[in-house]
Amino acid sequence: MPVDYSPYLFIVVMLVGAVGFALAPLGLAWLWAKKYSPRKPGPGKNAIYECGLESKGDAWMQFKSEYYLYALIFLIFDVETIFVLPFAVAFGGLAPGACVAMMIFLLLLVEGLVWAWQKGVLTWS
């Protein structure tokens, strides 16, 4: 007798199982800690770890703005990789038009890089 299972039911069961598998040890550990190991916070224990020295000043400090330019340029290559990898995988079955579109996309990114290079962003001062 064929039973009509919804294919999504298995995903839901797996999801519940996976979440339960992850949470159960955490819950057990929490219960254990509640019963057996008392929390002992303190000013020294909660202090900022500075290799044993007392920390001076604040960790919130300003970064140089050049850093953000670097991050943006990194993003260019990051996005490029994300698009180029599936393109390379499906390269054999692509139409010539798709290839041209990809080349234009790459050209735009390279143009951005060249522009940034011209602006002297890549030289750290």
Partner 1 sequence: MDEGLRSELSKQGVFTTTLEDLYNWGRKNSVWPLGFGLACCAIEMIAASMARWDLARFGAEVFRPSPRQADLMIVAGTVTKKMAPQVVRLYNQMPEPKYVIAMGACAISGGPFKQGYNVLKGIDRYLPVDVHIPGCPPRPEALLHAFMTLQRKIDEQALTGAQRPRHLVAEAPSEFPVPEFGAHDLVPPANPEIWQPPEVVRGE
Instruction: Give the binding site for partner 1 (CB under 8 A).
Output: 36-38, 40, 42-45, 47, 49, 51-54
Residue type present at position 5:
Y
Measured from the CB of residue 49, what is the shortest distance to partner 1 in angstroms?
A: 6
Measured from the CB of residue 44, what is the shortest distance to partner 1 in angstroms?
A: 4
Between 43 and 120, name the residue whose CB sits nearer to partner 1: 43
Measured from the CB of residue 46, what is the shortest distance to partner 1 in angstroms?
A: 8
> Is the torsion defined by CA of 96, 102, 106, 108 positive or negative?
positive
Between 47 and 75, name the residue whose CB sits nearer to partner 1: 47
DSSP structural state of residue 53: S
Residue 75 corresponds to which tokens in the numbers above? 């993003």
> Is the torsion defined by CA of 115, 121, 76, 72 positive or negative?
negative
